[in-house]
Structure formats: structure tokens, C-alpha cells
A and B are shown apart, each in its own frame.
Chain A
């Protein structure tokens, strides 16, 4: 493990050096009119900033991820034999994901592939559903409501998030359970005779996941819609557009970066959710994240877990790229 420590210790100074070189090159190119990064901030502060940022970016983000990528191409070995003579590169972990066996490729790994497909599909559905729920509310808050009403609505949206995720998930179980509040109300009202199995039918899971990420969709959408000049809406209306055309032609195109940003965030968090699927998922539903979790902590197969996690990461990145292509927005617009 020695070289791991080396990498962690060496990384930040390397990054700092790279920044310093870049600033030196820039100084030379623009002439020395602008003081450089070190001159502006003073030597010690600049060095601290560079090393701190370098540590954060490299040691906390880049290096562990690269380590995971590397890990996923190795066989399961006791720590002592890692990087030893018995270590080698292999695709076995990815083969296992596809075929349910490290070397036999005659059968598909139905359970895991199915869970993966369901996770991606449901996450897409929930993203769309979330947008449908948030758009009218965000539009109302950004363009119609008075400032006072907006503040009250924001508070109402934020307060439930002070309760932690597990508790919220269990609250949804109470709400949707066979003997739960909703069934009780429906039976009490005489609408149904036997309770509906909301949890078994995954209604509770979809509702819980949608609810969990409402704010994640809400804020980018609200920000995007809030920046729309109201005269644009009135101009479209004045030119004869009915309300739905105004949204289609003026409001939605303007909000595109916000929609893309909200959609990618909700999708990634949804596909990576762990608590809600465990608590609210029906017995037939197997979410992909619990499988990843099991690879690490039930099967104690970290390389396989790393491979599974990377498959999920790749799917999320593919989703982001597709969204960017469909909405014709750039990464910087999403991040705005």
C-alpha cells in the first residue's frame, strides 16, 4: 500500500505546480500588466489555496474514483496479495454482471440485469414525473405569485427536508401500507372494500422517490423560470398565442438549461438512491443500489462491487449526455 500514500502526498504539490505553471504561462502571454495569482494573494495564502484545492480535487475526488476503476479490473484477493504476484487484470467482474458467472457466458445474469434495467427505466419515469409536478409550481412561484406567497411556499417545500430520509421513507410506509392512512381513508369513504397493496405495486416507491427529489428539480427550474422577462410571456399572448403555446414556444425553451440541470440531478440521485428503495420497494422490486451494496458488504467482493458501481456511473453519464443532446444545452449551461 506504500505507493498509495505516495500518490496522496504527491498529488497536491503536483496540482499546485501545474497551477503555478499555468499562471506563469498566462502572465507571459498577456504581458505582466495583471499581477499573477501568487502576487495577488501573497505567497503563503496562494500556496495554501492551491494545496487545499489540489488535495480536495485530487485526494478526495479523482484518486478514489481512479482507484475504484482500477479495482474493478482485479480479481477478489486478500489485501495482503493485492499488487502481489497473484494479482492480474481481468474483465471477470463485468462478465459476472452480464452473465452471472466469472467465466461462463452461456446465460444472462437475469436478476441483476433486470434490476439494472428497472432502476434506469423507473428513474427516467420518476424524472419525467418530477418535472411534471414541479413545472406548474415553479412557474407559479416564478412568474405569478407575489413575493410573500413565494417565501411561504418555499418554506413549505423546504421544511419537510429537515426530516431525515429514512424517517421520511418510513412515514411513506405508514401512509401507503395495507393498514395505512391512505387505505384507511379509502375504505372509510367506501371507495374500496379491500385495501390496495400500494407497497407491493411499487406505488409507494415511486411516490417516495418523486417526493424525495422534488426540491432538486424545483430549484433549477425556479431559477430558470424566474429569469424569464414577463414581457416575453405578454408579448406572445398579445400576438395571439393561447396559454399552452406560450409555454411551448417561449417559457420551456427559456427554461431548457434549468430543466436539463434538474433532470440530470434527479435521475442520478434516483438511480443511486439506497434508503427509499430498501424501505418502500415491494418484494418483487429489486433496485440496483442494494445489489451494489451487497457486492461490497454481503459478498465481500470489493472488485465486483466497484465494477457494479461503475456500470451505474456509466449509465448516469450516458443519461447526462443524452439529455444534453436532446435539449441542445452545454455542460456549462447545466451547471449555471
Chain B
């Protein structure tokens, strides 16, 4: 109920339209209820007791009433659709704005797919609820009450007899609405299972072929298909029975009218017109009752969706600028970690323990260690993607938690191994962090990142759209665009991952060059995979399981014959040998 109210709360700004919609609805229902009375009038006043005038008046009235009904149906239908669209627009905007502000830790646990379904499926189910159910529930209940009253007042005995099936009908409709839902969910779920089998089979097609497993894959898929078929038929068995049942029940009421009412007409205690009106009222009722089951269903869905949406909206961004934030507009680039401990949400072990180091402005610090040793974690604390558990991360002597967030991030350039580009033009991608950058600045950054020549060779140059629906770039090209993207901001602090995997030697050479030019004159933290970066670092931090196990320069660390020396022997020596061969 609380959630339902909160959903309805979104209608708040459009109160006048809501009221207008309901007024139109009420008038429409009134017109609808008038029609059987008019038919009754024509029969009783015009036909059983011949009266041309009454026939004319009655017929004309039906046309007028019907036309009015049409006008008001249009009005309320348009208004409720408008409201539904408007609220979905508002909710989507709110979700989007909120998600832009949520911190990294939120996105670590939430999957893109799930968040997408919040903003699409869930918003849609609220939209459908507002569009249909919001009016149906009032309309159905309204008609139910008014028609019952009219019938009871007109002839209570006939009313009771003809409506004796109604409670059964209402119960059936609601029961159906409730029980069919889990069955439909089961179908959806099984459809997902089938889809997964298919997706894996296609994505892993090479493996399937390589191991000659096609027949087994066929069997596996067929098995899921049969299960899907059974699950589906399970729902079919239910709804193919319930819909006819509901029609049957409402027709049973009509049979009762004729059975009882017919006798009354014969003995003169009921007029022919009234008997007809009863029939018309009763047929009119079956629709809203069937809607009830549907409404229960859609409300339940909207509530479930609302709960999920509000779950996202109620998550407070953990990382925000403090109220009295320091605006560090011209940064020198001094980075310091003081006794930093850090732990990711929903984990039990510290990802970083007791990390302390200083990077003077313009110097290079190289981080090395295995996967999960904490290299990337250290770099993500500087732009304050996460907050430390204890200790502090300082930039220019200020704890980053005291700084204005966007000003801080504006002066930090980041190039990660997995380079995400947006589906916009290359120029826009490079200017991503500085949308007001001039074309000259963009080109200068692209030149420094050694990607200008390639961009210039594309059909639309800097206006070439990249990404899923545009030109595809190779891994190495993307990486260089990402370097340009960082450079265009002219950052004081540069964070980069120098991995040049899955590119050929030529490209690797160019990326290396680009990186060297990028680092010049900036405080750089590099997650190092290349010997080059390590040799040139002012300080190397060797990490293991979140701790700094060794620190020093390349030469001093080699002499210690510790962890660094081991890594060197195993992974870096090849690079050294190549150098030796070339001598």
C-alpha cells in the first residue's frame, strides 16, 4: 500500500488532469448506464403501448447519449494515457539522474541488465498500471455499485436472482488473476533458460564444433524446449478454462433473468422493457468484472516494479561532495596515501591494508603485482571512486573527502585497460571530459596520443561515429582514443594501465610512445606490465594481497632478490632479453 501510494504520488503535479480524467470517466459511465433505460423507455412507452412520439424521442436520445459517451470516453482515455506517459517520463528521468550519481560500489554489485530492466520493464509496468488499471478499478467498482443499486431499486427479487452468479464471477476473476501470474512467471523463467542455452551455444560455437558436441547440444536444447512447452501448456490449461468459465457464469445470470423475469412479465408484474433493461445491464457488468482480475494482476505487478525502482532511488550515493567542499581549482599534483585500509562492500577481507606512499608532483609511481593484489584499487581511491575504511588519501595536502568532487575528477586523467567508448563521434569521445574543448585542442590531444593520423584517414574524420552502430576500432586504437580523452583535460594527475595485450608489435610500439608523451609533466600512477614503465618509475610499489611488500627503484629492487626479482625472472626478463639481442 505504501508503495502504491508512492507510485500515485507521481501524479501529484498533474492533479488537475487527474480530476478532469475522473470527471470524464464519471460522465461516460453515467451515459453508459442511461442506455438500457432508454431502450426500456422505447419498448414500454412506445411499443407495448403504441406511441410514435416515444419511439422517436427514445431513439434520438440513444444517439445523443452515445455521442456524448464517445466524446467523454475519448477525453478520459487520452488523459489517462497522457498521465501514464508523463509519469514514466518523470520516473525514467529520476532514475537516470540518480544512477549517474550513485557510487562505484553500487555498480559493483548491481548488474547492467538488472538496472536496465528497472528503467524499462519496471517503468513500463507502472505505465500500464496508470494507463489502464487506475481507471479500470474506479470504473469497474463504480459500475458494479451503481448497477447493483439500480437493479435492486428497480426490482429487488429479480436483481438478487440475476446477480446470484456475480459473487462467483468476482471470486473467479480475482482467483484467476492471482493464480495465473506464477504460471506466467514460470514460462518467462523457462524462456530465459532456453535463451541461455541458445546464447551459450552460439557464443561458444567454436568450442562446440571443436569438441564435436553438436548432437549433445541439440538434445540439451530440445530438452529445454519441451520443458518450456509443458510450462506454457500449464498456463494454457488454466486460461483456456477460466475465460470460457467467466463467460458461462455471466450468461447463466441472463438465463435466470429470462426464467424468473419471463414469468413475471406473463403475470403482469414486470414490464417487457424492464426485462430487456435487466438483460442489457447484466451484459454490461461482465466486462468490468473480468477487468477486476486483470487489475489485481497489474496492480501486483506495478507494486513489485515500484518496489524495485524505489530500491534503486532510495540508495543514497555514498560518495558526494561535502557541504563545505574545498574547491581545488589549480592542483599541483601531490598524491599521498596515509595508512590506508580499504574493503569492498559485501566482502570480508581488506582489499588494501596499511598503504602509505607519497607521489611528488611530476613523479611516476609504478604499481606491480598479480591479479587481485590491489593495484587498481589504489588508483581508484584517488579520484574518490571509493572511500577508504581508515587512513586517508590526500591530494595537494587535502583529504580527498574534503574536496569538491567534480573539480577533483576534472584534474585526474584515467586510461584503463578496458577502454569504454560511447557511441558518439570520435571527436565527442575525446572531448568527453571537456565538452567545450575546441577542435584544435581535440586534435592536439589526438596527435599526442598518436591516433590523429588514423582518425584523419576515416571517412568522416573526427565526426566518425564509433561503437556498436558505427565504425569499429581495434583494441589498440580504442586505447589511444582513451589516452587522448585523458590528455584533452590536461590533467595534473594521470592514472594509467600500460597493458598492451592483444595488440600486435607495431601497435604496441605506438601505444608505448603515446604513453610516454602522456606522462610528461604529470604525476603518474601506472599499473605496470612493461619493463619500460618500471625502469623509469621514481618509485615502484610491489603489491601482494593488498599490502606493499617491497618498494624502491627497479635497480634497488632487483638487488634485493625478493618478490620483484621473482616477477622479473618470470615475466619481465623476456623483454630484457629482446633488448639484449638487439644490442
Whether A associates with B in a native complex is no
Q: Which residues of B contact A (CB under 8 A)?
A: none
